[in-house]
Amino acid sequence: MLENPSSLAAYEAEWESSNAENALKLVLVNLSRQADVPSYRKIESIIAAQSAGTIKDFALVALHYAQLNLENELYDEPTGMISTGLGGQANKMRCYFVLMAKPTMSITDERAKAMEQNALLLKQTTNSELETIENFGDHVILKVLISFDIAVANWIDALTKTCPFVEKEYLCTNSEKPTADFIQKWMNDELDAYLESDDSLLGWHKADD
């Protein structure tokens, strides 16, 4: 579990007493961080009770985030970093992915182009589309619109299987584009200490290895 249950209970009590929109948003955010099935189901029930509008859209993003955290708890392989906030388009959420080259390999322009083509093929089966790709040789940054109908982990796993020159572990956020310094610390396996030292990064969550 990724969030203090007592904090969640306090937010739920505030929402029940005030019925305020901001209180409900806090409940949704905290439920999405629990990484358990009951919390996921609670978000689903909240969505079912909402009419179309800002809160329902917010709840859908929270549900997708809850799914990501739940997958991270269940998967045996490391799946990177997850957060929220970049927005999206229609029924899609915008995410940044960082993939790094395997130790004995580099990501050439030709390989980056092949990755782009493979992502284009995935669009046909996942309704998710690559917006941009930036190649730095030892890593790439992908900006992708991911359909709410597919798990983020499933999309990136499908892509990396077609790219044997990159590691399976990846960095993922839908909060903001990761900085070069942040990426370098992740690649050097220094991210845990970095996150603990900077309160502004508490929105990031690391998957269990």
**pLDDT confidence of residue 3:** 47
Q: Say if residue 87 is in the same domain as residue 61.
A: no
**pLDDT confidence of residue 122:** 92
Range of the domain at 191: 81-206
Cα atoms in the Cβ-side hemisphere of radius 13 Å centred on 35 = 17
Q: What is the CATH number of the domain that holds 201?
A: 3.30.70.1290
Q: Say if residue 198 is in the same domain as residue 143.
A: yes
Q: Say if residue 169 is in the same domain as residue 104.
A: yes
Domain end (from 74, 105, 130): 74
Q: Say if residue 104 is in the same domain as residue 54.
A: no
Q: Say if residue 189 is in the same domain as residue 118.
A: yes
Q: Say if residue 50 is in the same domain as residue 29.
A: yes
Domain end (from 74, 98, 119): 74
**pLDDT confidence of residue 103:** 93
**pLDDT confidence of residue 208:** 38
Q: Say if residue 69 is in the same domain as residue 91.
A: no
**pLDDT confidence of residue 193:** 60
Q: Say if residue 50 is in the same domain as residue 91.
A: no
**pLDDT confidence of residue 2:** 44
Q: Say if residue 22 is in the same domain as residue 51.
A: yes
**pLDDT confidence of residue 69:** 73
**pLDDT confidence of residue 89:** 58
- Number of structural domains the chain divides into: 2
Domain end (from 41, 74, 107): 74
Please give the C-alpha separations between residue 133 and each of 59, 63, 155, in angstroms, as whole numbers: 29, 27, 15
Q: Say if residue 64 is in the same domain as residue 85.
A: no
**pLDDT confidence of residue 199:** 42
Long-range pairs, 68-73, Cβ under 8 A, ≥24: 68/151, 68/152, 68/153, 68/172, 69/2, 69/32, 69/33, 69/34, 69/35, 69/205, 70/35, 70/36, 70/37, 70/40, 71/151, 71/152, 71/153, 72/35, 72/205, 72/207, 72/208, 73/35, 73/36, 73/208
Q: Which residues of the chain have pLDDT under 50?
A: 1-3, 78-84, 199-209
Q: Say if residue 97 is in the same domain as residue 181.
A: yes
Q: Say if residue 58 is in the same domain as residue 86.
A: no
